Amino acid sequence: MAEMNAAVCVWECAGDQDLFHDAPSAIDCIRKTGQAAMYASRLFVAYTESKILFALLLSIPTFLEQSKEVPMQETDVERNLKEIESIDSASHAVSRGIHNAVLGGGEPARKVADALHGTWLGHPLHPALTDFVVGAFAFGSLFNLASGELNGKLARKLIQAGAIMAVPTALAGVTDFSTVPRRAMNTAAVHGSLNSVALVLYLLSLRNGNGRPSGMSKLFSTLGFGAMFVSAWLGGKMTYHYRVGVDKSERPEGPTEWTRVLSDAELTENRPRRIEVEGTAVVLYKRGSRIYAMAAVCAHEGGPLEEGTFLEKGADGVCVECPWHQSVFAMEDGHVVHGPSTYELAAYETRVQDGQIQIRLIERKPVVEQDSRQLVGELVTE
């Protein structure tokens, strides 16, 4: 194949130039053609050597398709993980220890944890970061299997980039682990451990691949890919099966008109009260003459906010701290003051008329709709 390409290229060169009267051009053309042929043959060899990895990558859609067929069933692996008591108690202790350290560290520690949870992003940060690491490591493995100096260099750069990105990704993951629900704790612990194993294997592959990847380097990067692949599968299980990091709050669409919900006399100051409005749980809270109304289900894991701690927090005003993992929400408009929740809550305007508390939903446009309208507006004005 490479030889054919070379022949075609030489023939084309001959068509473009008068080779018999321009010897230097002809030699240059043949030299370039030879280089092209060499490069083509290297690519072919690289492909042959890495075809196992290609086959593995191509099997991913089938694998995912099969997983979809049993969405709510636990696999043997998950069942076994859940039953290992030692993992459960150790992971619970580590998780609580990190969470208590964050809470004990006061406002600065909470701000760092918020950044790592992704409160600024509007959804968890960890899954977004994993894309960089998985991408860099996967292609690093691929190029590491291929022969040739260029492939070796590319593999090295990609694995180095993956290792660097693994640091913030791991920090975000550990922060999320500090408030992971008990049902997913063992899976999360094994997921994190496998990621650590994968990182060590990739670092070993760098140590063994000085310049051109050695056989050991290829072995370590392939094993690293395997560990990372299983870990990614567990990560998917945590999101799509255990719903870790998924918004658990209710998203009411009303009432959009003022609606009576409770007699003012029935709401005592500083005594939160949970009511039901159009099928949504709402927490009412009175401080002084002001009444607040906000969705009562925590977006992190569904904690009951009427059982939380109500406090004043500077510019955020009156807030509620979730009793389960201490997310803090502003009662005024439901925005997240502190994670682990990365999702804001629905909030309501309130007023008292004829001795009755009335509420009306503060309407928010879905983020995607906001963005697309803004984009359309920009395109129209251009």
Our CB check for ligand FES shows the closer of 113 and 194 to be 113
- 110 scored as a contact of ligand FES (CB under 6 A): no
Contacts of residue 238, Cβ cutoff 8 Å, sequence gap at least 6: 180, 184, 187, 188, 191, 244, 245
Q: How far is the CB of 95 from ligand FES (least distance, A)?
A: 12
Give the span between the Cα atoms of 134 and 142, in whole angstroms: 12
- Which of residues 221, 341, 350, 358 is near ligand FES by CB under 6 A? 341
- 300 scored as a contact of ligand FES (CB under 6 A): yes
Ranges of H-type helices in the chain:
2-16, 23-49, 51-58, 60-68, 76-83, 85-104, 106-117, 125-145, 149-177, 185-207, 215-240, 367-381
Q: How many CA atoms lie within 13 A of 280 on its CB side?
A: 26
Number of residues that bind ligand FES (CB under 6 A): 12
- 303 scored as a contact of ligand FES (CB under 6 A): yes
Tell me which stretch binds ligand FES (CB under 6 A): 11-19, 263-271, 318-326, 354-362.
318-326
Helix (H) or strand (E) holding 356: strand 356-361
Contact map string, positions 175 to 214, toward ligand FES, x by CB under 6 A? ----x-----------------------------------
- Which of residues 141, 325, 346, 350 is near ligand FES by CB under 6 A? 325
Q: How far is the CB of 179 from ligand FES (least distance, A)?
A: 6
Tell me which stretch binds ligand FES (CB under 6 A): 201-209, 321-329, 343-351, 371-379.
321-329
Burial class of 313 by CB neighbour count within 10 A (0 to 12, 13 to 18, 19+): middle
Tell me which stretch binds ligand FES (CB under 6 A): 170-178, 193-201, 317-325, 348-356.
317-325
Q: How far is the CB of 325 from ligand FES (least distance, A)?
A: 3
- 322 scored as a contact of ligand FES (CB under 6 A): yes
- Among residues 242, 232, 152, 136, the alpha carbon closest in space to that of 192 is found at 232
Q: How far is the CB of 126 from ligand FES (least distance, A)?
A: 16
Our CB check for ligand FES shows the closer of 6 and 295 to be 295
Our CB check for ligand FES shows the closer of 56 and 113 to be 113
Q: What are φ and ψ of residue 114, in 5° steps?
A: -60, -45
Tokens of 31: 């030299």
- Which of residues 143, 177, 229, 324 is near ligand FES by CB under 6 A? 324
- 249 scored as a contact of ligand FES (CB under 6 A): no
Give the span between the Cα atoms of 178 and 201, in whole angstroms: 26
Tell me which stretch binds ligand FES (CB under 6 A): 157-165, 202-210, 322-330, 367-375.
322-330
Tokens of 128: 């977004």
Strands 336-338 and 347-353: unpaired
- 298 scored as a contact of ligand FES (CB under 6 A): yes
- Among residues 27, 28, 31, 26, the alpha carbon closest in space to that of 14 is found at 26
- Which of residues 144, 222, 327, 358 is near ligand FES by CB under 6 A? 327
Contacts of residue 187, Cβ cutoff 8 Å, sequence gap at least 6: 78, 81, 82, 234, 237, 238, 242
Query: Contact residues for ligand FES (CB under 6 A)?
Result: 179, 298, 300-303, 322, 324-325, 327, 340-341
